[in-house]
Structure 1
Amino acid sequence: MKKVILSADSTCDLGQELKERYQVNYYPYHIILDGKDYMDNVDIAPDVIYEAYWTKKILPKTAAINVEEYKQYFKPWISEGYEVVHLNLGSALSSSYQNCCLAAKELGGIYPVDSCNLSSGMGHLVLDAAEMISQGMEASQISDTLKARTGNCHASFILDTLEFMHAGGRCSSVTALGANLLNLKPCIEVDNRSGAMGVGKKYRGNLEKVLVKYTKDKLAAYDNIRRNRIFITHSGIDDSYIELVRRTIQETMDFENIYVTRASCTISCHCGPNTLGILFETE
């Protein structure tokens, strides 16, 4: 049986500690800012993007990983006789999955998985794959199992402001102004059948109040939440809010692990700072 390499687009937002612990290989997205091409979380960080917006009123464009990049990335493993399970950002959000499939078809031995998700919603599947590898499962079986699990990964986020969404052309100025005037903080929810994003409940009030209500609402929405892990993932937010959400989770439900991770540039540039979500799996 061939050894299986675990790989993912950088948008899985696991953080360095989990990446190393579970031997996850990343390939970064492109961040094009002010005429320069950067590699996500390699030579640019979200705070640089925020600073560019605050000082120059510019936002980056993000670019998918292309077929040739995937081929060059995978080739060394294939030439050494390994197989690769690679998890992609949801196909509704990027062409990277399609590009990965084209590279896989040419090389063989590559098993792309459309996560139908983003950020650590995708990260759950990556860690699931790591556990399957440790159990000795074959790459094809891991791929099939992951594809059947995408509907069990639940990702959502609370936006503190719609300013970045508006600046990126993802909501109208009227919507952004209305949300600001009414002190509304929308919940962005990921459709785990495709990875598409939509607006869910609109919360009203300050961020502290909203985050507590949002956390309780999400944990009460399912009666079969897996208790092995939950992610608190944010785009850059004060530690006091993270600890508030952590305490709310602990008071509401017992989890073996509560992981805190920071979103990549690809995710952060669309939602702006002070965005936070809880991401979990159901049985």
Structure 2
Amino acid sequence: MVIIFADTTSSIPVDEAKILGIEYLPQFIIFGEETFRDDTELDSATFIKKLIASSTLPKTSAPPPQMYQPLFEKHLKAGNDIIVLTPSANVSGTYRSAEMASQEFIGEKITIIDTLNIGASFASLVKTAVQMANNGESSDTIVATVKNMVERERNIFVVDTLEYLYKGGRIGGAKMLFGSLLQVKPLLALKRGQVEPVESQRTKKKAVSRMIELIIEECPPKNSSLLSIQHGAALADAQKLAQQLKEALNLDEVPIYNLPPAFLVHSGPGVLGTSYFID
């Protein structure tokens, strides 16, 4: 049997992760002297309220190696192979934690994959791996498929404000001032854990319209594209976007995910985006 490990940066709800049979680890959110697990102690709505009220950005912390080790031992003793999917090593220490934990089990069948992303695309990779494992595919086949998908992933999103990107050091002060003065709504992409500009529009409505155009141009009009929507405190906008893209691309389903705190600390509330896989 192949056991899939993931964590809350995948945006998969905890209850759904249990149903899928994933070994699901938390991230930790640090506000000043307080530390919260993001799977049981801090839901998305509460996190956003605390984020808005805080004068400084909270910090995020990956699950330590000690959380992985007993789980690795349990499944290896049962004769299982293990595949650990992690968020981009550029935004989280999760990959390093899993790697350190695996050093206790040299020679065992543990594969750790950096998904190079976070949020909805990570969720799609996890669910694909779980489905393949449930179908009896080998760990080598699952690993090859997931790594191929990682290279084909695309995403695009728009933020309500540049404030959080500036606070997190993702953009410079001059760009922050210029963007704020013009009320620019940038279209951005997360590539290998790095935020990169796509283009800018003067209003969020125009930015979302342009985002739809770009997705229709690039996203294959078929269910295998695994198109999904991701957002932070923008459910109504996410539902509208999902319906528009579902109709435009003739898709059966477009899942909607709440973005994890590890993303929202840099984007702020109101962020709206998509994830999909090209051919």
Task: Tell me if TM exceeds 0.5.
Answer: yes
Maintained 8 Å contact 2:222/2:250: no
Going from structure 1 to structure 2, the CA distance change for 1:141 and 1:247 (only over 3 Å counts) comes to closer
How far apart, CA to CA, are the structure 1 residues paired with 2:70 and 2:34? 22
Matched to 1:4, the amino acid is: V
Q: Distance in 1 between matches of 2:34 and 2:71?
A: 22
Amino acid at match of 1:160: D
- The runs of 5 or more residues in structure 2 that have no matched partner are none
> Structure 1 CA distance, aligned partners of 2:29 and 2:262?
7
Partner of 2:10: 12
SS of equivalent residue, structure 1 residue 258: coil
Quickly say closer, same or farther: Cα 1:124–1:39, change in 2 above 3 A: same
The equivalent residue for 1:237 is 234
1:41 and 2:14 aligned: no
- Corresponding residue SS for 2:99: helix
Amino acid at match of 1:147: K
Does residue 83 (structure 1) correspond to residue 81 (structure 2)? The answer is yes
Q: What displacement does 1:57 show?
A: 1.2
Deviations 1:162-216 (A, max 9, x none): 111222333233322322221211122122xx333222211221x2332122122
Look up the match of 1:97: 95
Pick which of 92-101 and 11-20 moved more: 11-20
Structure 1 unaligned blocks of 5 or more: none
SS of aligned partner of 1:256: coil
Would the aligned equivalents of 2:221 and 2:251 in 1 still touch at CA under 8 Å? no
For the pair 1:217 / 2:214, whether they are aligned, the reply is: yes
Aligned to 1:32, the other structure's residue is in SS state strand
Deviation (angstroms), 1:83: 2.0
SS at match of 2:84: strand
Aligned partner of residue 196 in structure 2, secondary structure: strand
Q: Aligned in 2, Cα 1:56/1:265: closer, same or farther, shift over 3 Å?
A: closer
Contact preservation (8 Å) 1:31, 1:60: yes
Letter in 2 for 1:13: S
**Is contact 1:49-1:59 (8 Å) kept?**
no
User: How many pairs were matched up?
Assistant: 276
Shift of 1:18: 4.5
Q: Which residue of 1 aligns with 2:109?
A: 109
**Whole-angstrom CA distance in 2 between matches of 1:180 and 1:5:** 47
Q: 8 Å contact 1:52–1:59 — kept in the other structure? A: no
Cα pair 1:160 1:185 within 8 Å, conserved? yes
Higher deviation after alignment, 114-123 or 142-151: 142-151
Question: How is 1:20-31 mapped onto 2 (pairs within 5 angstroms)?
Answer: 20-31=18-29
Deviates more, 1:77-86 or 1:16-25: 16-25
For normalisation by structure 1, the TM-score amounts to: 0.88
Q: Are 1:225 and 1:282, in contact at CA under 8 Å, matched by a contact in 2?
A: no
Counterpart of 2:269 (choices 270, 273, 281) is 273
Partners of 1:83 and 1:51 in 2: how far apart? 40
State whether residues 6 and 23 of structure 2, in contact with CA within 8 Å, keep that contact through their aligned partners in structure 1: yes
> In the alignment, residue 10 of structure 1 is paired with which amino acid?
T
Alpha-carbon distance, 1:238 to partner: 4.5
Change (3 A) 1:230 1:102: same
Deviation at 1:29, TM superposition (A): 1.4
Q: Is the 8 A contact 1:226 1:282 kept in 2?
A: no
The alignment's TM-score, normalised by the length of structure 2, stands at 0.89
Change (3 A) 1:195 1:164: closer
RMSD: 2.1
Paired letter, 1:162:
L
Q: Which residue of 1 aligns with 2:160?
A: 160
**Secondary structure of 1:155's partner?**
strand
**1:17 to partner: Cα distance:** 6.1
User: Matched residue of 1:8: which SS?
Assistant: strand
1:176–1:45 distance in 2 versus 1, CA, 3 Å: farther
